[in-house]
């Protein structure tokens, strides 16, 4: 889980992110003890392990009451195809560990270990291994992606057949997708919107759910500068780095990113905003602005706003956040819509509406539009 230098309440240094049927470990989960970096993981019923690392100093070991026996090193896990590792199957045990037996300096990796009875166990797990990234072509209902480098990936080029409301992206492994306590980071508002969207994910593990088994594809690659890409008629997703999205854990993945900054000017007819946030302290209030409308949030809650404009309306959108605590977590999806301008709306009846927003926001939008009209 997340380490924020010096600001961290000690309670959250508890290692690894634990799900109902899996665990995700990273280098920061190692504890230095008896001259070795080591971290325990669960395998109560037998399990499958996946990692994006091929380091030969990283081992799976088992404590037999006396010594830590080497079972395999990461260079011998996963088979021949680096981008599509085979699961490494382990029998049930309560004394498995990962260990660094090398240069005593753990570097980036993600280790995903999932119970043999977990849902969606046939899901392909892929590893981003080069600058090009992965083309996820196929008919699978789900794809899980591992990538510990840069702490950020970006999905785009969704195409093909999806069930309505899909694709979705979870910042978890395939097992948690089946749990009602886990929410997607991104959920397509329409097929067209999905095909135009670029979704930035600040997680070492993520799963795409298509909802069906038709032919479809997507592209995912390292997002080296942690940036966001925008397109009209598409979605933008912001989240706290390391965001997990399952209500039963307060943990986040470890991330070197502690700051989010973005600004852009879409010209749209509609904007739907949906967000969740938890334990965001006052001095790390998330600053979200849509023109002069202040949608900042802190504390714990949900955000839901809908804005409609009678004709394409240029919005100044901005997002800014700086992490101050390890436990703060939040995610916001913004869906920008660009239908045909409504011919029934003449300039004299022009008005803007925000379905759930306050009278102030409505009044404000109307006043912006009126002042823009006044310019002509």
Identity of the residue, 27 or 90, whose beta carbon is nearer to ligand NAG in the bound complex: 90
Q: Say how many CA atoms lie within 13 Å of 152 toward its Cβ.
A: 20
Residue 59 CB, shortest distance to ligand NAG, in Å, is: 8
3-state secondary structure 196-230: HCCEEECCCEEEEECCCCCCEEEEEEECCCCCCCC
Question: Least Å distance between CB 242 and ligand NAG?
Answer: 22
| Closest CB 152 distance from ligand NAG, rounded Å | 26
Q: For ligand NAG, which is the closer residue by CB, 279 or 298?
A: 298
Residue 285 C-beta: closest distance to ligand NAG, Å? 5
- Least distance between ligand NAG and beta carbon 46 (Å): 8
- Please name which of 146, 198, 193, 212 lies closest in space to residue 173, comparing C-alpha atoms: 146
CA atoms within 13 A on the CB side of 50: 31
Q: By C-alpha distance, which of 29, 70, 76, 36 is closest to 53?
A: 76
Residues that bind ligand NAG (CB under 6 A): 56, 72-73, 75-76, 91, 282, 285, 296-298
Q: How far is the CB of 143 from ligand NAG (least distance, A)?
A: 28
Nearest to 245 by CA among 333, 317, 164: 333
Tokens representing residue 20 in the block:
């109902």
- C-beta of 134 vs 319, nearer to ligand NAG: 319
For ligand NAG, the closer CB: 142 or 280: 280
**Residue 334 half-sphere exposure toward CB, CA atoms < 13 A:** 26
Compare residues 136 and 275 and give the one whose CB is closer to ligand NAG.
275
- Alpha-carbon distance of 153 to 146, in angstroms, equals 10
Closer by beta carbon to ligand NAG, 56 or else 356: 56
Can you point out the beta strands (E) in 64-215? 68-73, 88-90, 93-100, 110-115, 125-127, 134-135, 142-146, 153-160, 168-170, 186-187, 199-201, 205-209
List, in order, residues 6 or more apart from 101 with CB less than 8 Å away. Answer: 36, 57, 58, 59, 70, 73
Secondary-structure breakdown of the chain: helix, strand, coil percentages, each rounded to the nearest 5: 10, 45, 45
Closer Cβ to ligand NAG, 45 or 227, answer by number: 45
Q: How far is the CB of 72 from ligand NAG (least distance, A)?
A: 5
Taking the least distance from each CB to ligand NAG, the nearer of 21 and 285 is 285
For the CB of residue 301, give the shortest distance to ligand NAG in the complex, in Å.
9
Q: Which is nearer to ligand NAG, 105 or 282 (CB)?
A: 282
CB closer to ligand NAG, 283 vs 340: 283
Count the residues in the chain: 376
Listed in sequence order, the residues at least 6 apart from 326 whose beta carbon sits closer than 8 Å to its beta carbon are 1, 2, 3, 4, 7, 8, 9, 12, 252
Taking the complex as a whole, the smallest distance from the CB of residue 70 to ligand NAG amounts, in Å, to 7
Paired tokens of 339: 């239908």
**372: three-class secondary structure by DSSP:** helix
| Residue 277 CB, nearest approach to ligand NAG (Å) | 10
Residue 245 C-beta-side C-alpha neighbours within 13 Å? 29
């Amino acid at each position: 889980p997340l380490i924020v230098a010096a600001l961290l309440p000690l309670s959250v240094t508890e290692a690894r992110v634990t799900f109902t049927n899996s665990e995700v470990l990273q280098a920061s989960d190692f504890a230095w003890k008896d001259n070795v970096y080591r971290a325990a993981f669960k395998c109560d019923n037998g399990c499958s392990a996946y990692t994006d690392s091929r380091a030969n100093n990283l081992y799976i070991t088992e404590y037999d009451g006396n010594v830590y026996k080497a079972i395999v090193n990461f260079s011998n896990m996963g088979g021949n195809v680096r981008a599509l590792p085979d699961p490494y199957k382990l029998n049930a045990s309560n004394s498995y560990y990962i260990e660094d037996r090398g240069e005593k300096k753990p570097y980036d990796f993600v280790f995903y270990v999932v119970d043999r009875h977990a849902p969606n166990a046939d899901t392909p797990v892929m590893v981003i291994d080069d600058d090009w990234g992965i083309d996820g072509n196929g008919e699978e209902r789900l794809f899980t992606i591992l990538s510990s480098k840069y702490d950020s990936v970006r999905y785009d080029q969704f195409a093909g057949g999806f069930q309505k409301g899909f694709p979705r992206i979870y910042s978890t492994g395939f097992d948690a997708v089946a749990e009602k306590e886990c929410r997607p980071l991104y959920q397509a508002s329409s097929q067209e919107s999905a095909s135009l969207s670029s979704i930035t994910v600040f997680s070492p593990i993520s799963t795409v759910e298509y909802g069906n088994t038709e032919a479809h594809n997507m592209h995912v690659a390292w997002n080296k500068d942690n940036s966001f890409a925008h397109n009209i008629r598409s979605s933008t997703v912001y989240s706290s780095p390391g965001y997990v999205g399952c209500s039963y854990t307060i943990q986040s993945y470890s991330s070197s990113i502690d700051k989010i900054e973005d600004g852009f000017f879409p010209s749209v007819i509609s904007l739907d905003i949906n967000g969740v946030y938890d334990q965001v302290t006052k001095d790390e209030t998330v600053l979200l602005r849509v023109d002069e409308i202040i949608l900042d949030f802190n504390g714990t809650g949900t955000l839901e706003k809908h804005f409609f404009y009678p004709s394409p309306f240029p919005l100044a959108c901005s997002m800014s956040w700086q992490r101050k605590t390890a436990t703060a977590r939040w995610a916001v999806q913004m869906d920008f819509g660009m239908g045909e301008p409504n011919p029934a709306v003449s300039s004299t009846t022009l008005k803007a509406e925000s379905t759930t927003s306050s009278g102030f926001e409505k009044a404000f939008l109307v006043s912006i539009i009126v002042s823009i009209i006044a310019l002509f």
